[in-house]
Structure 1
Amino acid sequence: MLDIKFIRQNPKLVSEKSKQKGYSVDIDKLLKVDQQRRELIEEVDHLRSERKKAAEARDEKRGQQLKKELKEKENKLEKLTEEFYFLIREIPNLPTDDVPVGKDETGNKPIRKWKIPKKFDFKVKDYQELGESLDIVDTKTASEVSGSRFGYIKGSLVIVQFALIQYALELLTNKSQLAKISEYNPKPFVPVIPPVMIKPTVFDQMARLEPKEERYYLDKDNLYLIGSAEHTLGPMHMNQTLNEKDLPIRYVGYSTSFRREAGSYGKDTRGIFRVHQFDKLEIESFTIPEDSKKEQDFIVEVQEYLMQALEIPYQVVMICTGDMGVPDARQIDIEAWFPAQNKYRETHTADLMTDYQSRRLNTKVKRKDGGTEFVHMNDATVFAGRTLLAIMENYQQKDGSILVPKALQKYTGFPKIPSAKIG
């Protein structure tokens, strides 16, 4: 959530920036409740002080009268505090000034491209057709077992998926390799396998619980299944004060992710591009405020380095205000080229949340000068299932086989997934 002091000083700006993200927020009502709450806090503090004096003077009658007044004021304060936090949490994070203003994905701005897409001298197949012909993707059986938007990944394709993960982990945990990618701080990432279930209160503190219709909820256990590893990586330092000398703290988490895709009716219904369950390697980082944008740019450099190593054409896209999530202040996507669709599709995201999440999580940093403030947080995709699909389409051969990117061959132990005709 935003700092109430900032909202008091910049009500018009907060209202305008919220509208840019598609949210109509009642700033006047929030400020009115805030003022009433502050006044009531002073009254409660005064009554507590007077009651203490009455107790010291052994004035029982006065003490009982103050007790009754205090109870009434405390009940009113409790209700006002609930209303205050409800209203302030309705306000989204404000987009940074370099974010393009737009209503939806049509307002997103490509900022650079890498590698001209290959021209094939044969009719290309999409990943689903390739997967079925090579018996490495099976959605038919998955639909019978689990329903729509599920799939089995099988055989050699599983080996390629774990090769992707191993390749990325070797890079992200190697300081000397990271130093070759960027001049920015090359501190390595700590690998984590996080829980895939999260308490509702913590999910809400991460500002990722909504929209609830996208989440799988386990009613008997009062737990949600996460939609990304960042959901349980981000709270690792909730209610903690970190030391500036330890920042940045960087994690890379591997987990299964679960999404209901409730708002995606009719989109990508064929295949496994948009599914309810997928595996994903995700970054979460904590920095001092002045380094957070540099941290995001560094993460994007890492993402691009990995994609270039795979030699998959892509474009980098600055996401507009209306297409960003509630906690995001700045979002940069990478879209890989899918030849069968003849277009770029999103495979990676890098989100800068500034202190929006950390304020809700109460994650702070003690500065060198002795002061304390909220940390800034970033999260980003390293690899998810869609990268695997991009490899399949871009590396397909005329005979129906799929070559393995050279960067992954030392992990797979084979240079290609052979054609079904060859066996």
Structure 2
Amino acid sequence: MVDILYERHIKSELDLALESARIVNLIGPRQIGKTTLVRGMLGNGHFVSFDDENVLAAIEADPQGQMQILIMSANGEPIIIDEVQRSKKIALTIKRVVDADRRMGQFLLTGSSNVFVSADVLNSLAGRVQTLKMLPLSSAEIDDAGPCLILDWAKESGELNALPPCRSISKIEVIDRIIRGGYPEIRHLSERSRQRRYREYIDTIVDRDVADVMKIRLPDSMRRLINQLAVRTGNEPNMTDLGDKVGLTRQVVGEYVDILERLSLVIRLPAWTSGEAGRDIKQAKCHLIDTGITAALRGLAAGDFALGKDQTPLGALFKTYVFTELLKCISLQRDEWRLYHWRDRRGREVDVVAESGNLVVGFEMKASSTVTRADFDNFDVFKSGPAAKWDFLGLVIYTGDQVLAFGDRQFAIPVSIFSSFPKATTQS
């Protein structure tokens, strides 16, 4: 099979970052295409990978000396360091270089976690480093469409006639895309091979990437924890209950989840509050970053969601799928947005709340090809209660094929909207 080279939307951000920062730090999960992207962008840069044990050993033994060799070899071009998180000494070494040289775009670093996490290093590098996060493929990238600008649309118009026509994608195709996930080298494999590769991928994360962040005593417990988080994706995890199931204390579970978040395998979605809604739930939700991994860990295949089968697992996968689609396009909007969830003590909730300025956009996910007015009930509670002082727009994302209006700035929109914006709308 010929490899497909996807056009990644983060490239435009990366180009700008190289013009405005001495160090550009591109972080994201392993095997999502970071190396392919940076090597394709910078054909003249000097590339080195710390996955090469010899190179890593040399850097750790003599970071200053090896850095001088890299600088001479680069001859003024950017130095590209792949899997940079594997070195414990590189951050301070790079800091010394950029302190003495003010040129932009000197270093382009890629890794599964941020090497600049030390408070001392962060403070001393203020204004010198820009960190970008790259995630698995979005639907728009898979379909060779423009980035989804649905939040720009919500802020600038909110009118249905301003939305692009939604692509025609059947529910079966949506399920297939959810099950395949967004890892470029894995998603095209056959079902059995794909599930095996995703499970092996988790083993690699635990055995290598986790150790780069923190030495853990119980790697098997970490694997069991990831499996449990896959079952609970899109939910508010009970750390005590998780600890009981995987044989860890509540505190250690929290530490392990922190590690997985640093590695971009798990994303925590914080709770939204207006500042006055004292009875709202404050617990964050946890989503695995990729539905392909989630499905593989749960042993779910597309056939498990055929007519007559239990659709409950699909609901959770669909929520995570839509949330991660929003996450992948949020940095490409013109304005700054933050994502949250909302739930009150009576269990009424909004799956995702996007906030920018005085506008909040609520997203409810429904893994069904039909939608009714009852699917908007929680929006009514939310906008008349905790969000009463905010401008509000409510969207139910579903697997149907029609854009529908349900009154008072509330709409049902097909999930295909995430790959329906044309390339012409891409920001320069």
TM-score after normalising by structure 1 = 0.28
More strand by share: 1
Structure number with greater CO (CA < 8 Å, separation at least 6) is: 1
The structure with the largest alpha-carbon Rg is: 1
